[in-house]
Structure 1
């Protein structure tokens, strides 16, 4: 970051004029002077730094969002199971009702009294056997209902735990989102502090830097050395050239870095994890000297930024907020590792 020039102290005449205009009592200068506006180059460096600082939290946000979606799926499945178990309990209740009524009607009198009142002992014994069977069926149904009731309670507890976890991930996601938004808002404020002419100068300087580094973000068709599945991946990626980077996005109109990699490989029928870190952990590592088109490139470290090798010492990636998907020299950023899905 550039150094700030110390402003020239104002003349006494100037101080007096300012003091009178403001109705000030004292003609002495105040301790705090307005800080000089940063230069175009300083703004550019600060903006680049803020955008770079936003990439880490963006990937953390992506991981939390993925976890949130998984938990939401588990909650939905558990609620379906809960509804089925509740229905089973209701059906068992309906079966037990008539059995209980039958026992109440026939089984409320003492067995010896029933035998005495019965004109035909054989009829009584037959009735007693039937009641015994009824009682056994009722006992079985009650046991089944108690088991289902326990399952129902466990399912409710499991859902409650999942809902608590889901609430926690939502809170985490909101915090990460705020962290990213704060950095992007600071960057926007810095850019808005520039005049139109200064903005134009900054953009022209960026374009010169990109041209000098061999960066290309104009729409093009992939015609490199890839073949088969890797060609499908890179054909898709090249069709996205010029589309904007947007944090947390997986297409089709914008992408973040891991969003572009995931969408490109998905076009070839390969499902990758969501974040840079997860892709790095899941992939088969390849040496820089063994790179093949389509391999995933990791710059800086294992969780900050990635793209794909296109061959001939170049890579395609979604760079950062304010820029579009582009092709860059492989070594335009510090190479960390590569993996092959």
Structure 2
């Protein structure tokens, strides 16, 4: 019994010992905050991709509609002309070979008239058919694009709702800075070399944006999100990048860390939900997250998953 009692007491002492089997609420909260911020950035980047897709779909719809209107007018006009010609030939009796034969001066003339009537008919009917075929193709494109547009709008709305839910979670955890003064490291005094090439222009632009406030979905000129900043930086050098970190990674030329040069892009996290622009000396400029300013950081401030060079 004494032995059993000793074991119980020893167990109670171990349970009561500091740091043994006890969760750390502050550490748990920080982990939850970090996970929520990363999830939010992933949602924002997916939203950017859907928004770009929706813009492209809207532009294609506008092109189809701009072609479809005049084409419908042409089809209607050609149909009226064909109907009018058929009615006129019927009323005149010229559609019958006997009438043509009687009015013809010779068998040769009769053959010529029949051939001419047949040619006129074929040409008009053929032209009308070509117009109707073109209209049918555009109508099919219109239906397909309209369906795609509706699906993309639904995806955008769903991502917006997901974003709002994560932001509510961040507020509950006390990690939302949207109502506070923006924070950020800005820069540590390092000034990159601004070369005269396209990469130098991109670096110079990114450096000039330090201190501006992050805003999700923004691509300038007063605020940016992460892929909006890199997109805008390289746009000044004449290079077009998508407004999405994962798509930027797919667009650029993959390089190794040893090959890094100022202007190259650095991608973060397994889902490629974040991107910064390398400026030399182990540093990147990046737009962090809501409530923070565009800042200069050491390249390994977050897990790196790849490097790329815009061309």
| Fold shared by both chains (TM-score > 0.5) | yes
* Counterpart Cα distance in 1 of 2:256 and 2:176: 45
Aligned: 1:256 with 2:239 = no
Corresponding residue number in structure 2 for 1:266: 235
Structure 2 CA distance for aligned equivalents of residues 121 and 330 of structure 1: 92
The structure with the largest alpha-carbon Rg is 1
For 1:151 and 1:297, the matched residues in 2 are separated by 47
In 2, Cα distance between equivalents of 1:193 and 1:242: 19
SS in 1 for 2:278: strand
Q: Say which SS state the counterpart of residue 213 (structure 2) adopts.
A: coil
Does structure 1 residue 295 correspond to structure 2 residue 279?
no
Please give the alpha-carbon distance, in whole angstroms, between the structure 1 residues aligned to 2:109 and 2:300: 94
Aligned counterpart, 1:3? none
The answer for the alignment partner of 2:43 in structure 1 is 57
5+ unaligned residues in a row in structure 1: which ranges?
Answer: 1-37
Pairs within 5 Å for 1:133-152: 133-152=116-135
Identify if the C-alpha distance between structure 1 residues 106 and 190 changes in structure 2 by more than 3 Å, giving closer, same or farther: same
Q: 1:251 to 1:101 in 2, by over 3 A?
A: same
Of 186, 190, 200 in structure 2, the residue corresponding to residue 216 of structure 1 is 186
Whole-Å separation in 2 of the counterparts to 1:335 and 1:140: 65
Q: Does the Cα contact within 8 Å between 2:214 and 2:289 map onto a contact in 1? A: yes
Which secondary structure does the structure 2 equivalent of 1:307 belong to? strand
Q: Give the distance between the partners of 2:223 and 2:137, measured in 1 at CA.
A: 43
Summarize deviations over 1:245-278 as a string: whole Å, max 9, x none.
Answer: 1111111111110110000111111111221111
SS at structure 2 position matched to 1:306: strand
Q: Distance in 1 between matches of 2:265 and 2:175?
A: 36
- Deviation for aligned residue 1:170: 0.9
> Scaled by the length of structure 2, what TM-score is found?
0.79
Q: Distance in 2 between matches of 1:288 and 1:298?
A: 11
Q: For residues 57-108 of structure 1, what are the alpha-carbon distances to aligned partners after superposition, in whole Å with 9 as ceiling and x for unaligned?
A: 1111111111111222221222222223223213322432442233112226
The corresponding residue for 1:29 is none
User: How far did residue 132 of structure 1 move?
Assistant: 5.2
Aligned CA RMSD, in angstroms, stands at 3.4
Summarize deviations over 1:174-211 as a string: whole Å, max 9, x none: 111111121113223443999xxxx99xx9xx97xx7x
Match of 1:88 among 74, 90, 95: 74
Aligned match of 2:151: 168
**Equivalent in the alignment of 1:157:** 140
Which residue, 65, 79, 103 being the options, matches 2:89? 103
C-alpha distance in structure 2 between counterparts of 1:46 and 1:149, whole Å: 60
Counterpart-to-counterpart distance in 2, 1:260 and 1:162: 30
Whether the 8 Å contact between 1:297 and 1:339 is mirrored in structure 2 is: yes
Q: Which residue of 2 aligns with 1:227?
A: 195
TM-score by length of 1: 0.72
CA distance change for structure 1 residues 133 and 309 in 2, over 3 Å: closer, same or farther? same
Task: Using the TM superposition, name which of 287-296 and 319-328 deviates more.
Answer: 287-296
Q: CA–CA distance in 2 between the matches of 1:291 and 1:113? A: 87
